[in-house]
Chain A
């Protein structure tokens, strides 16, 4: 049973394209996290949100609590955005992770 589902699993885009990665979850949550893992392996927290929308540079994250769905958008994508993007939800102190979306942005 997967508490967190991400789509697509893999995504290839041309530089400059607008990208959307989706995350659906089945548990009640206190917060949803978007993580970025670069090819070198390091994991960075991009966003933590419990409602509405957050923006950081070219990245935008939205969440709809009623529909149990979140999206991560990247505007004007760049090759350096190539990474695995992981959605994680926390119902209290536990964490459930999606399997990640592997993004490749081609120059």
Chain B
């Protein structure tokens, strides 16, 4: 298996632009997680899905952030409009069910810079 795949690996955009991050989980994993990592706050869970359904989005910073999982092999995290404070590394991870009992597999991350 190729592991968790994320694209793009790097994204530089201007404030106000829409940004879409993509993730392909490991086949057979039914949990998918989106995380954000910054120097100030470390790793933060933004949202997670179980069988394509969002379960907990309490970590999503505000309405500018949205996430979807249209099928078991694809998820997107969208920021519209982007702001400089959204600059961070965004990780996607997947695991078997239930996630507290199985390890998570992380993608390589997308480094987002908003200028």
Which A residues contact B (CB, under 8 angstroms)? 29-31, 33, 35, 41-45, 48, 50, 86, 88, 90-95, 97-100
Given contacts A41-B108, A88-B43, A92-B98, 10 further A-B contacts (CB under 8 A): A30-B101, A31-B101, A33-B104, A43-B109, A45-B104, A45-B105, A48-B101, A86-B42, A91-B100, A94-B45
With beta carbons under 8 angstroms apart, the residue of B55, B89, B93 that contacts A41 is B89
- Separation in Å of the B36 CB from the closest CB of chain A? 11
Can you give 7 contacting A-B residue pairs, CB < 8 Å? A30-B101, A31-B101, A86-B43, A94-B56, A98-B42, A99-B42, A100-B42
Size band of the B side of the interface?
Answer: 20 to 34
Contacts of A41 in B (CB 8 A): 89, 108-109, 111
Q: How far is the CB of B103 from chain A (nearest CB, A)?
A: 4
Which of A44, A92, A93 is the one whose CB lies under 8 Å from B106? A44
Inter-chain contact A30/B100, CB cutoff 8 Å: yes
* Residues on B facing A (Cβ under 8 Å): 31, 33, 42-45, 48, 50, 55-56, 89, 91, 93, 98-106, 108-109, 111
A95: which B residues are within 8 A, CB to CB? 33, 45, 99
**Given A95-B45, A99-B42, A100-B42, A33-B103 contact (CB < 8 Å):** yes
A86 to B104, CA, bound (A): 13
Expressed in whole angstroms, the Cα–Cα distance for A95 and B99 within the complex equals 9
